Structure 1
Amino acid sequence: MRVRTLTLASALGAALLTAGVLPAQAAPTARPAAVQEGTVSAADLLAKVTSCQQISNGTYRTDEETSATVPVCGKNGAVFWKADMDIDCDGQRTARCNESTDPWFQDDTAFHQSDGRPLTAETLPYVVVPSSSSIWNYASAGIKGGGVVAVIYGGQVEYAVVGDTGPTQIIGEASYATAQALGIDPDPETGGADSGVTYIAFTGSQVSPIESHSAAVTLGDQLAKQFLQNN
C-alpha cells in the first residue's frame, strides 16, 4: 500500500540492496499499447455503472491530502468505485518491487498464495481494498481475498484479484502488474493514475489458486457477462 511511512525495515532493506543481498532495480519494461481480457468490453461494463447506489457509510479519499469524495456503490452481483490508482509493490521482493524501488515497501500482503507466501505485485494483477472500518466493511459486502475485480482504464479491461488491504480512509490502489497491463506508469513512487479508474468487484467470487491470473480472467469473463445480464 502506498500511503505509509518509511520504516526501519525499509532502511535496512535498502542497505541490503546496496550490499547485493537484494536484486537491483531493473530497467522498466515496455508497457502494452492496450489490453482486453475476456470478451466483455470496457464500454459495456462502464454503461452499467453510470449511477451510484451508495453502500458505504461515508466516502473515501484517494490520497492523504485529498478530500473524501469517493463512495462505494452497489449493483446486482458487484460493488464498484471510481478513483485513481496508486501503485502497490508489497509482497515478495523482486527486481522492481523492493525497499529500494518503493519507500513504502512491505514484504507481506493481506492475502497469500496457495503455498502460504505473500503475493508478488510485480507479476500478479491485484487490487487493494480499504481495511474494514465504520466507512465500509468489504467482507460484509461479500468481497473476499482472491475475489475478482474488473479494473477499467482508458477503454481497457484488466481482471485482477483482491490481494491486499490498505488504509481505512483511502481507496484506489492496485499492484504493479495491474498498472503495467493497463498502460499506467507502474513506478511505486512516482507512477499511477490521478483519476479515471473504475473498479468493479464481483461479490462472492474467489479465484483458486489466488496467484493464477489465467483463472482470474476465466472467472472474471463469466462474472462480467452475468453482470451485464443482471443489471
Structure 2
Amino acid sequence: MLVPAALAPVLLTALAAPPAAADESGPTVVAEEGGPTVAAALLAKIRGCAQISKGRYRADDGAPANIPVCGGKGVVHFKADLDIDCDGRPSSVCNKRTDPYFQPTTAFQDARGRHLDSAKLPYVVVPGASKLWSHRDSKVWGGGLAAVVHRGKVQYAVVGDTGPADLIGEASYATARGLGINPHPVRGGAARDVTYIFFTGSEVKPIESAGAAQRMGAELTRRFLAGQ
C-alpha cells in the first residue's frame, strides 16, 4: 500500500528502529509518552466535531444513533464506548470458551498471512462498509495508526479488524488492557469516554508490531500537536 510522502519519513523511522522485545509475543506496549499530559493535549486538539460521516453510529445494538465520525487536519476521530474484540488467533483468553461470539479471523492479517492476535496486539475495529462512512475513503486503512485515549491514558494501536456497518467503538483485548480497561470479552469494556484518533494515510509495517506502532504513534502525535 502506498504511503503519502509526508508520512514516509515516519514509516522509515519506525521500520529502522530496533524491534521492541514485546512486538509480537510480549505484553501490550503502552505509549511511553502517552500519559495524562499527552492525552489532554490530544483531546484539546480535536475539541469539537466537523462531521464527515453521512449519518451517526450506535455504540451497541438498540442504542441511539448519536455518534458522528469527525474529521480534522490529518486525523479522523470519534468518541464512543469500547467493546472488546477478541477475534483472531485463539489464545488462552480469546477463544470460543471465553467469548461466545469468538471468530478465528480478522479483516486484516499479519506479514505471514496469519490472523491477528487480540490478546497480544493492540488494534482497533472500524465499521464495515456502509453509506454512513467509508474508512478507506478517509485514508484509514488496515494497519493504519490510531491513538486511543481514555482517562488520561493513550494507547497506540493499529486498524486490525472491521465490525458491523452501523456500530462503532470496539478494540482488541490488548488495547483495553493497555488502557486499564477490563479486557474480558463478555464482562469487560468501557461504557463511555473512549476517544479514537486515526492518523490518516499512515500504515504500520508489519501490522503485528506493537513496537512499530508505538514509535510511529509517538512521532505522529508530536507532529499533530505541533501543527505539522
Give the TM bin, normalised by the shorter chain: 0.7 to 0.9
Q: Contact 1:129–1:164 (CA<8 Å) still a contact in 2?
A: yes
- Listed one character per residue, the Cα deviations across residues 157-208 of structure 1 (whole Å, up to 9, x for unaligned) are 0000000000000000000000011110101011100001000000000000
Matches within 5 A, 1:63-142: 63-142=60-139
Match of 1:160 in 2: 157
Q: Secondary structure at the match of 1:41?
A: helix
1:194 corresponds, among 191, 208, 216, to 191
Q: How far, CA to CA, are the matches of 2:52 and 2:148 in structure 1?
A: 19
Q: Secondary structure at the match of 1:43?
A: helix
Match of 2:172 in 1: 175
Deviation of the 1:132 alpha carbon = 1.5
1:37 is aligned to 2:32: yes
Q: Contact 2:31–2:214 (CA<8 Å) still a contact in 1?
A: no
Q: How far, CA to CA, are the matches of 1:66 and 1:208 in structure 2?
A: 36
Calculate the TM-score normalised by the size of structure 2: 0.85
Deviation of the 1:62 alpha carbon = 0.2
The code of the aligned residue for 2:32 comes to: E
Q: How far, CA to CA, are the matches of 2:221 and 2:193 in structure 1?
A: 20
Deviation of the 1:58 alpha carbon = 0.4
Calculate the TM-score normalised by the size of structure 1: 0.83
Q: How far, CA to CA, are the matches of 2:81 and 2:196 in structure 1?
A: 10
Q: How far, CA to CA, are the matches of 1:36 and 1:156 in structure 2?
A: 9
Q: Contact 2:140–2:198 (CA<8 Å) still a contact in 1?
A: yes
Q: Secondary structure at the match of 1:230?
A: coil
Q: Contact 2:80–2:168 (CA<8 Å) still a contact in 1?
A: yes
Q: Secondary structure at the match of 2:80?
A: strand
Match of 1:18 in 2: none
Q: Secondary structure at the match of 1:59?
A: coil
Q: Which runs of 4+ in 1 moved over 4 A?
A: none
Deviates more, 1:50-59 or 1:219-228: 219-228
The code of the aligned residue for 1:208 comes to: K
- Listed one character per residue, the Cα deviations across residues 81-133 of structure 1 (whole Å, up to 9, x for unaligned) are 00000000000000000000001100000000000000000000000000121
Q: Contact 1:73–1:81 (CA<8 Å) still a contact in 2?
A: yes
Deviation of the 1:36 alpha carbon = 4.5
Q: How far, CA to CA, are the matches of 2:65 and 2:46 in structure 1?
A: 20
Q: How far, CA to CA, are the matches of 1:48 and 1:55 in structure 2?
A: 17
1:54 is aligned to 2:48: no
Q: Contact 2:128–2:164 (CA<8 Å) still a contact in 1?
A: yes
Q: Percent identity?
A: 53
Q: Secondary structure at the match of 1:161?
A: strand
How many pairs align?
199
Deviation of the 1:230 alpha carbon = 2.2
Q: Contact 1:37–1:159 (CA<8 Å) still a contact in 2?
A: no
Q: Contact 1:38–1:218 (CA<8 Å) still a contact in 2?
A: no
Deviation of the 1:37 alpha carbon = 3.2
Q: Secondary structure at the match of 1:160?
A: strand
Q: Secondary structure at the match of 1:217?
A: helix
Deviation of the 1:226 alpha carbon = 1.5
Q: Contact 2:39–2:153 (CA<8 Å) still a contact in 1?
A: yes
> Structure 1, unaligned stretches of length 5 or more?
1-30
Q: How far, CA to CA, are the matches of 2:219 and 2:69 in structure 1?
A: 23
